[in-house]
Structure 1
Amino acid sequence: MNDRLEKIYVVFKTHFDIGFTGLVSDVVHKYKTEMLKDVIAICDKTKDNEPNEKYVWTMSAWPLLQSLQGSDEQDKASALKFLESGQLIWHMLPYTTHTEFCGLEEWIRGMYVSRGLSEKFGYRPMDAKMTDVPGHTWIVPSLLKKAGVNILHLGCNGFSTPPDVPPVFFWEGPDGERLLTFYSKGGYGTGILPPEEWTHPIWLALIHTSDNHGPHEASVIEDMKASIAESGLQAELYIGSLTDFAADFLSRNPDLPVIRGDLADAWIHGVGSAPREVSRVRELRSRIAAAESALALSMLSGETSDVGGAAGHSQQIKGKIDESYEHSLLFGEHTWGMDCKSFLFPRTYDKKSFLKDKSSERYLKMEHSWQEQIDYLNKAEAALDAAVEMLSGSGSNIVREASDKKTYRVYNYLGWSRDALVLLENLESPEEDEIFIDCISGEKLVWSHASNGIILEVKQLPALGYKTIACIRQAELQAAFKGSAVEVAAAVDTRSNLLKGFINHQEAVIENAFVRVQVDCQTGWITSLYDKKQQKEWVEETSSFGFGQYEYNIYSSEEITRYIKKYAYRFHDWGVHDFGKTDYPEQQKRLSFTTELSEIRLIEESDYVRLVCKASSVPSSVKEYGNANETVWSITLTEDSPNIDMEWKLTGKEETPMAESGHILFPFKLDNPSYRINKMGSVIDPCTDIVRSSSTLLQCCENFVDVSDGTVGMAIVPLDSPLFFIGRNGMWDYEHDYKPEKPEINFNLFNNWWGTNFPQWVGGSLSYRYRLIPHKGDWVEGSVWKQAQEAMTPVSGVPVSEEHSQTAFTDFLPNGLEGMAVTCLKPAEDGDGYILRLRDWLGQSREVTVGIAVQANEVLKTDLLEYETKGNRCVLIESEDASMNQIRFQTRPFEIHTFRIR
């Protein structure tokens, strides 16, 4: 035992699951009622203890907020008393997340819950805690440091293998920020006494109760004091916060190892259990950011005002956007349903028994818990739709009449100018004498039909700005623009002779000026993908899989058992239930099914060519298991792009409780491949940047994965399904230190790997889209990050009142951004100016100059929570353009920068 131990800091906490121990509604209700009463009781019993021996209860920020908002008046008054005295506190994070699945800005907004509590109650935590989930992506220390956090505690559950890290270390993010990090292996927290090998003069005793259990008994304090006395230590007991411990610990300048790498989440497979919702939330993130920037631009131009003060129009819109962010992040919380071993057992696996059991009360209740997860997205989308509807009025008292002309604002929240196909939803085709125009230039726009509206081709959308477009009558065009309207030639087939395709008995081919794609007419799989510019063939002809092959797999009891043995850190009976599938059929063998092509056809239009393949599944894979009945996939080339767009639609997928997964495979031909994965907020090399014993097999990307030899490369952007393996299918497997075996990208479409709270079966229709981006050089030289973000950011039109069709203010970043991107433009939380948040995309240290199209009185650097920082004034540079300011600052690799613009 460390005889030099001076002080033991004690932090009390419970693990917060939104669900798991019951329905979400039941769990949240418990926090507001029974648990809050218990917290008040123990705080009251110990309030007269010695100053450092009073019970202090630390909560995640979100459940504390829910408790304060939903408790009765008497409990709330008591809770406020202990908030004031410091016995009831919170940490910086709202709850535990599957972090690498979350959106960057979305995750940052989770810390705004803590900010709101700080603004109301004065306490500002400088600590953070996540529990249960084994690992998190390495942007976390960078983000937490930029939010004022000095310590992070991670507590892994007792069954899961944790990343190979020491108990305490400095976790270094990609931008070089270092965060004091404690990692508890085998448990949510620690014991009251340090382990024998602990050499530091102070110890962190994080005394944790189990899932949603609530606080301890008041006797716990005396019990801890007795344990210290029995050990013979003379250490002082100090009950407080993680912040208290960090301040003391760091003041002693500890010599700690530095871990620079990604603690990849070994539970990330859970994301694949809800494929439709995962697709929805990935698209929703960009839509929220676009709506928020639209609000800021509208306020800057004076179109939206706060008539009525705090209840004004812009505040109402902002409230709905905040609500949308809240619920989209809740989808990334780590629970996703109730505990199967508590609520679903006993389970059956044969199809007939399963279908019968699905109507039972326990199965219906379990499905209801999964629906609660889906409801987060329904609420997020509803709130966003309400915000957009209010934005479309463009003023506090404007009501759009049915007779209004068809006028739309098309917003681009990206930090560079772009061309886009814009969907105007639910809009009928224009009359014969009507045309779409750019309301500033008068340029006529090309349009086409869509199943749910009209699609417009809009060129050169301004960086972080918008264009206003309208549908008007031909006769009004010249009058409106006095003969200066830009004429567009009559619609003709302008398809290049290099954009073409054909089908014969053996092969189908489509090509443009950039690539040539050849498909086998027997399988529908790509046999050749040739990059004409780089003179590079991308299909590995020796692979045992077809390029673009869909594969459906059923896994064996042997594989499940092997996985448990490889992954278990400590064997607990609950862990075997959670990670295995109790009572799974012993005789079940590994089965793999592919498709049987029934049709292939060619579609040729003026600006694209497309091959469409239709295939059926092996009947037994549908009837006995859970395969899709039919699979339709397409390969599309456009006239002016080297990118290949591919889409799969699975229909008639059966529900099954058997261990299953679906995959799309891309076996690339490349010698000496190097890989890059865009994870939330950064780009990592899976061969060097993933910490040992993290998730080295299964990965989750933000926007793209890239394979390159430094001379030529190929990136894949999965619009809907972010999970993938490199080199082999690693379902129901685990490796401490896997390195990709070959450049074969294996995208997981769906899985029910979990045996616990995540959805256990999925059925119906599923859709998956991928964009393949061939490029020169590596991912930076090929501007992969830029193309990927455009692919992940669809553009839509917002109806506005006609009176704003001539607004001159159309962009915020007239010069665009070089190697950086916008994460948000928003009204400041305190109403004092606007917040512009940027991210470095290149992973390079350099000086950056950004032009903003407003005359700013002041530009300050802030932390992520919009609080001013030391050395916060930016260099304002005079610009030749009197209507624009320029700011200059230094960036580090993948650094996030937040500016307040007054």
Structure 2
Amino acid sequence: MTTLTRRSAMRILAGVPALVLGPKIAHSLVGSPPSQESRINQIIVVCKTHFDIGYSDRVADVLTFYRTTMIDSALDLIDKSTVLPPEEQFIWTCPGWVFDRVVEDWPGQTTERRQRLDRAVKAGRLVAHALPFSIESELMWPEEFARGYAFADDSGRRYGLPLRRGAKTSDVPSQSRALATGLAHGGIRFMHIGCNWPSGYVHDLPPLFWWEGPDGSRVLTMYSTIYGTCTALWPWGGEGDPYIGHNLIPPSDWPYKTWPAIIVTSDNSGPPTLEAVRSLIAEVLEKLPDVKVRMGTLDDIADAILAEKPELAVVRAETPDTWIHGCMSDPGGMRHARNVHPLIPAVEVLGAQLCQWGVQAKAHDEEVSKAFEQSLLYSEHTWGLGQSVDVYGKAFNELPADKYQELEASWDDKTNYIRNAASISSSLLDAELAALTQAVDTEGPRVVVYNPLPWKRSGIVDINGSSFHAKDIPALGYRTFPPPPSPGSKTLPGDILENEFMRVRLDPARGVIASLVDKRTGREWVDGSIEYGLGQYLNERFESSQTEDYCRAYQQGRWGTHLHPGMYKPGLPAGVPYRRASGSNGSMHLVKRGETLTGTLEMPGDLNNHLPATSLRVTLCADVAYLDVELTIKDKAKDNWPEADWLCLPFRLSSPQFRVARTLGVMDPARDIMPGSNRHIYAVGAGLIVTGSDGASISLCPIDHPLVSLDTPGIWKFSLDFVPKRPVVFLNLYNNQWNTNYRYWYSGTWSSRVRIWFGNQLAVPALETMLPLLACAGSGARGILPSSQSGISVSRPGVVITALKQKSESKVTTLRLWELAGESGKVTVRLPSGLLARLAKPVDLRGDSLGPSIAIEGGSFEFFLNGFAPASFELG
């Protein structure tokens, strides 16, 4: 990641890497020969480039470059190095998705390159690592960790190769602990995380450690404050940059026999030159004649270090990513992502069950795999061209419309991944629900309600403009209902919405919820003394000094006094002060439609003050104890001025404690975050709980967007020790914080929904929010299925089914469950009558056996499952 014009940078840097040294964590800077007491007896050199999919050029052009110029350079180097001793012959490592795209047959492939690729792969000179690419794991649904292995695994199987056991990410400063669980259950033995070189980095990590996931599983991990341990930067360094160096010499205090010399050349620049590699190896052999140096793979590093049986520290703390703000530069795409992540596995499960129930549903394995690939690519760490836009205000507005056309197109390349995933999954779901509705044994018009979760539940269903309370829907099953009558609607007087659980009073003058009362306890949850109102829209526009101060704090001296131009806003006019603004003097409309009560506050914009119009929609339904809040930003102007949009959610609590549910696991932001990580804004999974000193709690599930700040809005803020004190949750609706990689503007209209309920039960209500009951209307003759039927069920809520598919050319069915509530203990799985199986064979996320099979008796089997852990089985 840099602000250099990427197309020219790719040409400049190809083949001329500058090497730097690291990591600078809990031991001395690399580059000093080991002391006499050093135990080092070998150095394993791993070579790769930093892959940016769509940053140095448009996605299609980058992929073509990978498949042609870059891989040809690597193959040339592999061929040239055959004259060297075997241990010095070049090995090139690629991420799994990149490897798969390179070695597959594609329309532009040549016979000569095909043959060279096959030779290099079979000789072990061109290898994949297990992860598909560098990811932002905070944005992922747990099942995506499993599906991400498919690219390296499938291409490796075509060559008859064993599964890769090493993995790596680069650039993203830190990853979620959920990734450790995904790695450990995927059989990964060594993980390397390479931080972006001018960014802030995680402090106090040991040189090697066991990284423990929320479920207690562990993976051997190394963290470097730069891309690799001997990594390539641009051919220039920042002022005071301490990392420039040109050797593979390990740190003087490295305590292990093997030093992993991981060379990572600059973004998409390809392999180093043969001369550079030979020179580096020769220097080591001269200075350390008793140390063996060999080219290798991440798997070789794992084998060598684990063979020492090292005693390592265990890292359990969370490290929220300091880049995570960037995802909300694309609120439209992130809304798709938040909704589609749990939907793709649900579509696969329903399709498999339809086949088991005897409904002739279209096979859709390829479509589901494509949806997962597109979703994973949206979680890949590059979001657009690295082209800066350093004019603001009037000068920006006067730019010709086509000035940044290619830049905007690159942003659409990124968003199109998740649009594609959403389109595929929604199309499949519509077809499956229609097939199910047509197949039930009910004459004439009917509505079939399907439950995508494996426990019985009830809930509100919307169908063709009508809603009704669908009760007792079987686990992963369905129930048939008569079509609901068309509900009448009427306008309500006053400013209050009320059901048996809550009373809500609205304030159109401020555009907020003025009162929220829990009728069961009489407790008022709105604190009128806080400057923010509940449901208030807040827009911030930042001043130049704020962006500079942030960059200075975030870089932590890694560039000396020089500020990285991608991490603040060069060219932003000085003297324009920070301002925050919200709407006022709005209008209010309350409606009752059937059993649904809706209040809408329309707030006018102020174009002269860069404030868009907004609406706040509050919904209560009969018989349900939650409140839905939706904020819509209307017709936002195209503008690259640094700003942030927020939905403010303050609550009346004293001495609040926060529990933030992540992709997996629950984080206490006061205790669980390591210094150097992001303490001001982070992604949530299920949502979060706020608890006061009196034990009262309130829970929230952001439905459409994942980023929250606690206590104070968190854009353009960085701290090593910030702890939230005030009971305020800010849901980020948009920001354009950085000056590289992410979108610089997002115009138009979008909305964001949040569900709120009282109490500290989060996982199950949140899962039922994110995977609502699904309904389809139909009519016609009777079908072959009963009017109600259960699918696969589990013995306790909070355990979800994330995979159900038949292995190709086999009667074996793959079943995967994932515990998402944090409860360890025995789980019983009951199979439906159509799924005939006698044994459940435990396997890991990649299909490797984990032990003896479990007998399936009476259609069910039992096993122990740790909280936040997956469990996979082959049923046969």
Distance 1:609 1:422, change over 3 A: closer
C-alpha distance after superposition, 1:165-197 (max 9, x if no partner)? 223211111111121101111344425111122
Instruction: Say yes or no: does 1:823 pair with 2:816.
Output: no
Q: Per the alignment, do residues 419 and 383 of structure 1 end up closer, same or farther by CA in structure 2, a change over 3 Å counting?
A: same
In the alignment, is the contact (CA less than 8 A) between 1:594 and 1:618 conserved in 2?
A: no
Which residue identity is paired with 1:590? Y
Match of 2:766 in 1: 788
Moved more, 180-189 or 557-566: 180-189
Q: 1:703 corresponds to which residue?
A: 686
TM-score relative to the length of structure 2:
0.88
Q: Would you say 1:899 and 2:873 are equivalent positions?
A: yes
CA distance in 1, matches of 2:859, 2:433: 29
Q: How many matched pairs?
A: 812
Please tell me whether the aligned partners of residues 596 and 618 of structure 1 are also in contact (alpha carbons under 8 angstroms).
no
Change (3 A) 1:256 1:751: same
Mapped contact 2:655–2:726 kept (Cα < 8 A): no
Assess, with a 3 A threshold, how the Cα gap between structure 1 residues 118 and 22 changes in structure 2: closer, same or farther.
Answer: same
C-alpha contact (below 8 Å) 2:842/2:871 kept by paired residues: yes
CA distance in 2, matches of 1:91, 1:574: 35
Q: Against the structure 1 CA distance between its residues 514 and 378, is the aligned structure 2 distance closer, same or farther, given a 3 Å change threshold?
A: closer
Residue of structure 1 equivalent to 2:180: 141
Match of 1:853 in 2: 832
User: What amino acid is the match of 1:29?
Assistant: T
* Matches of 2:97 and 2:142, distance apart in 1: 18
Residues 1:684 and 2:667 are matched in the alignment: yes
For residue 662 of structure 1, report the CA deviation from its aligned partner.
0.6
Pick from 57, 60, 66: which aligns with 1:25? 60
Question: Percent of aligned pairs with the same residue?
Answer: 27
Q: Which of the numbers 404, 412, 417 marks the counterpart of 1:376?
A: 417
Match of 2:399 in 1: 357
- 2:699 counterpart of 1:656: no
Give the direction of change, closer, same or farther, for the CA distance of 1:227–1:408 in structure 2 (3 Å limit).
farther
Residues 806, 813 of structure 2: 8 Å contact kept: yes
> How far off is 1:302 after superposition?
2.9
Q: 1:800 to 1:510 in 2, by over 3 A?
A: closer
The residue aligned with 1:443 is none
Q: 1:5 aligns with which of 35, 40, 57?
A: 40
Task: Classify 1:187/1:393 alpha carbon distance in 2 versus 1 (closer, same or farther; 3 Å).
Answer: closer
- The residue type equivalent to 1:821 in the other structure is V
Q: 1:590 to 1:610 in 2, by over 3 A?
A: same
Q: Secondary structure at the match of 2:263?
A: strand
Check the 8 A contact 1:828/1:866 in 2, yes or no.
no
Contact 2:328 2:707 in 1 (8 A): yes
User: Which residue number in structure 2 is paired with residue 459 of structure 1?
Assistant: 471
Is 1:246 the counterpart of 2:302 in the alignment?
yes
Question: Which residue number in structure 2 is paired with residue 476 of structure 1?
Answer: none
Work out whether residues 159 and 571 of structure 1, in 8 Å CA contact, stay in contact via their aligned partners in 2: yes
Aligned to 1:480: none
Q: 1:492 to 1:571 in 2, by over 3 A?
A: closer
Q: How does 1:93-172 map to 2 (within 5 A)?
A: 93-123=131-161, 124-164=163-203, 165-172=205-212
2:217 corresponds to which of 161, 177, 187: 177
**Secondary structure of 2:380's partner?**
coil
* Aligned pairs (5 A) from 1:378-527: 378-388=419-429, 391=432, 410-422=449-461, 449-450=464-465, 457-467=469-479, 502-503=493-494, 508-527=495-514
The equivalent position to 1:323 in structure 2, one of 357, 367, 370, is 370
Question: Could you tell me how far apart the structure 2 residues matched to 1:139 and 1:37 are?
Answer: 36
The correspondence for 1:890, drawn from 864, 873, 876, is 864
CA distance in 2, matches of 1:195, 1:861: 42
Aligned pair in 2 of structure 1 residues 666, 239: CA closer, same or farther (>3 Å)? same
Q: What stretches of structure 2 of length at least 5 have no aligned partner?
A: 1-32, 231-246
Q: Which amino acid aligns with 2:397?
A: L
Question: What residue is the counterpart of 2:21 in the other structure?
Answer: none
Shift of 1:608: 2.3
Corresponding residue for residue 874 of structure 1: 854
Secondary structure of the 1:139 match is helix
Deviation at 1:581, TM superposition (A): 1.3
- Alignment partner of 2:585: what SS? strand
Q: Distance in 1 between matches of 2:330 and 2:382?
A: 13
Aligned mates of 1:804, 1:114 — CA distance in 2: 46
Structure 1 residues 399 and 613, CA gap change in structure 2 (3 angstroms): closer
1:28 Cα deviation (Å)? Answer: 0.5
How much does 1:116 deviate? Answer: 1.1
Equivalent residues in 2 for 1:156-235 (5 A)? Answer: 156-164=195-203, 165-190=205-230, 192-235=248-291
Give the partner amino acid of 2:635. G
* Structure 1, 144-153 or 632-641: larger mean CA deviation: 632-641
Which of 554, 559, 564 does residue 546 from structure 2 map onto?
Answer: 559
Alignment of 1:719-738 (within 5 A): 719-738=703-722
Residue 841 of structure 1 and its aligned partner are, at CA, apart by 2.8
Partner in structure 1 of residue 517 of structure 2 = 530
Which of the residues 65, 76, 82 maps onto 2:120? 82
Instruction: Note if contact 1:318-1:387 (Cα within 8 Å) is conserved in structure 2.
Output: no
Distance 1:814 1:701 in 2: 27
Q: Does the CA contact (< 8 Å) of 2:142 and 2:182 recur in 1?
A: no
Deviation per CA, 1:39-82, whole angstroms, max 9, x where unpaired?
11111111343222211111001111111233323212210111
Structure 1 gap segments, 5+ residues each: 306-312, 425-448, 472-487, 879-883
Match of 1:881 in 2: none
**Counterpart in 1 of 2:744?**
760
- CA distance in structure 2 between the partners assigned to 1:529 and 1:233 by the alignment: 74
Q: Does structure 2 conserve the Cα–Cα contact (< 8 Å) formed by 1:663 and 1:749?
A: yes
Aligned-pair distance for 1:572?
A: 7.9
Q: Is the 8 A contact 2:44 2:259 kept in 1?
A: yes
SS state at 2:453 partner: coil
SS of equivalent residue, structure 2 residue 591: strand
Deviation at 1:805, TM superposition (A): 2.9
Separation (CA, whole Å) in 1 of partners of 2:458 and 2:497? 24
Taking the aligned partners of 1:331 and 1:244, their CA distance within structure 2 comes to: 31
Do the aligned partners of residues 892 and 384 (structure 1) sit closer, same or farther apart at CA in structure 2, a change above 3 Å counting? Answer: closer
Q: Alpha carbons of 1:892 and 1:290: their partners in 2 closer, same or farther (altered >3 Å)?
A: closer
1:576 counterpart SS class: coil
Whole-Å Cα distance in 1 between the matches of residues 192 and 510 of structure 2? 51
Q: How does 1:613-628 map to 2 (within 5 A)?
A: 613-622=601-610, 627-628=611-612
| Residue 279 (structure 1) aligns with | 335
> Deviation of residue 200 (structure 1)?
1.5
What is the letter of the counterpart of residue 459 of structure 1?
Answer: K
Task: Output the CA distance in 2 between the equivalents of 1:861 and 1:247.
Answer: 25
Counterpart secondary structure, 2:346: helix
Match of 2:408 in 1: 367
Q: Offset at 1:330?
A: 0.8
**1:607 corresponds to which of 592, 595, 603:** 595
Aligned to 1:439: none
Q: Secondary structure at the match of 2:131?
A: coil
The residue type equivalent to 2:600 in the other structure is V
Aligned-partner residue type, residue 37 of structure 1: D
Residues 464, 812 of structure 1: 8 Å contact kept? yes
Instruction: Give the whole-Å Cα distance in 2 for the aligned partners of 1:468 and 1:606.
Output: 20
Other-structure match for 2:577:
589
Cα distance in 1, alignment partners of residues 732 and 423 from structure 2: 29
- Asked if structure 2 preserves the Cα contact closer than 8 Å seen for 1:469 and 1:805, the reply is no
CA deviation after TM superposition for structure 1 residue 717, in Å: 1.1
Q: Is the 8 A contact 1:593 1:618 kept in 2?
A: no
Deviations 1:376-433 (A, max 9, x none): 12322333355346647859xx999xxx976775432212122344455xxxxxxxxx
8 A Cα contact 1:825 1:837, kept in partner:
yes
Deviation at 1:492, TM superposition (A): 9.2
After superposition, the C-alpha distances for 1:728-774 in whole angstroms (9 at most, x for unaligned) are 11210101122112111011110000110111001111111111111
For the 8 Å contact 1:358–1:364, the answer to whether it is kept is: no
Confirm or deny: 8 A CA contact 2:838 2:855 kept in the other structure. Answer: no
Aligned residues of 1:726 and 1:745 also touching (Cα < 8 A): yes
Distance between the aligned counterparts of 2:809 and 2:395, measured in 1? 58
In the TM superposition, what is the alpha-carbon distance from 1:574 to its structure 2 partner? 9.4
Question: Structure 1 residues 613, 205: CA separation in 2 closer, same or farther (over 3 Å shift)?
Answer: same
CA distance in 2, matches of 1:237, 1:288: 46
User: Offset at 1:455?
Assistant: 5.2
Aligned position for 1:484 = none
